[in-house]
Amino acid sequence: MSSDDAVQAIREQFEISTRFREMIEKRILRLEADAASDEAVLWQLENTDHIRRHLRLVSAQREEAARMRRFLRTSSVRATDSANAL
């Protein structure tokens, strides 16, 4: 890893609360489930434009889930969560 890569890695690391991490993890699961469900009904569609839009929806859902997974990989949970300290 070059020094530029190391600086970029440090710059991109975020500290998040446990609650926020759990919320993102649940959202990822919903997006992936929705994508699978939407893909499963494709065979019912007849209109080519509708099929194309539906495929774009599935792709967007999967990309958003992947983006959120990348965010979680570069984040860490705060050692002390002030919201839970009260």
> Tens digits of per-residue pLDDT, 37-48?
999 999 999 999
Domain with 29, as residue range(s), is 3-77
* Other CB atoms within 10 Å distance of the CB of residue 15: 11
Q: Is residue 83 part of a domain?
A: no
What value, to the nearest 5°, has the Cα angle with vertex 30 and ends 10 and 38? 125
Backbone Cα Rg of the chain: 18
pLDDT confidence tier of residue 14, bands split at 50, 70 and 90: confident
* Other CB atoms within 10 Å distance of the CB of residue 72: 16
pLDDT confidence tier of residue 78, bands split at 50, 70 and 90: confident
Q: Total domain count for the chain?
A: 1
**What is this structure's pTM?**
0.75
Q: Is residue 8 part of a domain?
A: yes
* Pair of tokens at residue 20: 């926020």
**Beta-bridge partners for 68:** none
Average pLDDT, the chain: 87
